């Protein structure tokens, strides 16, 4: 069985297909998935979806793209929601220097507040980082991470930083997007990551695999988590493992990080 460590199944772009693809999870081999919110405006959708489907675990957080748009009461709202959902993690949060007009100082303040809340409530976190690996390294030098650990989702950072992140409790998830030829360096980096720190994800409906990869692409260029087993089979070959071995390893890693 496979566990999707990061997606956005609540996203309205998946509305026409969501019920059908969720019904197919058992046959596809997907046993669990973490559904990540990105702003207080979508947290209720995440919560509602996960209440309806026991295989889905909620994650609530403010994405760095949404940092300028957070409401004044976001922190109390987030803490209240996390207390209502003991199985929830905090995500998707992080740093992003790719987006136009980014303010890394403000993003860092937001990230720190969410990290401190995760430590207070003993929750893991899922971190987004794009073109901000050195700022993230500096952040981690100054601030301890939650004891439960954290996931660097769709990790494509410098391989030289992998030992640094491992020492601070990081896990790393492999994305379908890494099957694009231009992402070969990110794919290769996973051969340097300890097996007990590797997870797999889809980030659906975003970060799709190549168009010729399989029947999991949806109109509009989106995709859904049914691509996960096929993507994982490619990663297993890269790592010199059987798909069954990788399934066992990543399921254990998923449970250790996300299951209280």
CATH of the domain at 226: 3.20.20.140
pLDDT tens for each residue of 215-250? 778 888 889 999 899 899 999 999 999 999 999 999
**How many separate domains does the chain show?**
1
| Residue 111, pLDDT above cutoff 90 | yes
pTM over 0.75: yes
Instruction: Give the Cα separation of 176 and 208 in Å (integer).
Output: 6
**Mean of all residue pLDDT scores within the chain:** 96
How many C-beta atoms lie closer than 10 Å to residue 58's C-beta?
25
Residues forming a β-bridge with 260: none
Tell me how far apart the alpha carbons of residues 25 and 19 are, in angstroms, rounded to a whole number. Answer: 10
**125 confidence band (pLDDT: 50, 70, 90):** very high
Query: Tens digits of per-residue pLDDT, 30-87?
Result: 999 999 999 999 999 999 999 999 999 999 999 999 999 999 999 999 999 999 999 9
Mean pLDDT, residues 153-175 taken together: 98
pLDDT interval class at 204 (50, 70, 90): very high
**pLDDT given for residue 213 in this prediction:** 76
Domain that holds residue 203: 2-258
């Amino acid at each position: 069985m496979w566990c999707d460590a990061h997606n956005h199944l609540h996203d309205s772009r998946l509305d026409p297909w969501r019920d059908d693809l969720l019904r197919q999870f058992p046959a596809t081999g997907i046993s669990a998935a973490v559904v990540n919110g990105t702003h207080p405006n979508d947290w209720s959708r995440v919560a509602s979806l996960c209440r309806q489907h026991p295989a889905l675990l909620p994650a609530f957080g403010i994405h760095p793209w949404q940092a300028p748009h957070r409401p004044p009461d976001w922190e109390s709202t987030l803490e209240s929601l996390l207390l209502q959902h003991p199985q929830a993690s905090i995500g998707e949060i992080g740093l992003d220097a790719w987006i136009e007009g980014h303010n890394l100082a403000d993003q860092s303040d937001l990230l720190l507040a969410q990290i401190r809340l995760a430590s207070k409530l003993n929750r893991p976190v899922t971190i987004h980082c794009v073109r901000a690996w050195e700022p993230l390294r500096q952040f981690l030098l100054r601030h301890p991470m939650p004891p439960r650990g954290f996931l660097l989702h769709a990790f494509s950072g410098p391989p030289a930083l992998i030992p640094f992140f491992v020492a601070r409790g990081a896990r790393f998830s492999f994305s379908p997007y890494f099957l694009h030829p231009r992402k070969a360096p990110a794919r290769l980096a996973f051969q340097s990551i300890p097996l007990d720190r590797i997870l797999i994800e889809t980030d659906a409906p975003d970060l799709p695999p190549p168009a010729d990869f399989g029947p999991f692409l949806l109109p509009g260029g989106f995709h859904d988590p049914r691509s996960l087993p096929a993507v994982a089979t490619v990663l297993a070959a890269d790592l010199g493992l059987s798909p069954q071995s990788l399934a066992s390893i990543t399921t254990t890693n998923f449970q250790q990080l996300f299951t209280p």
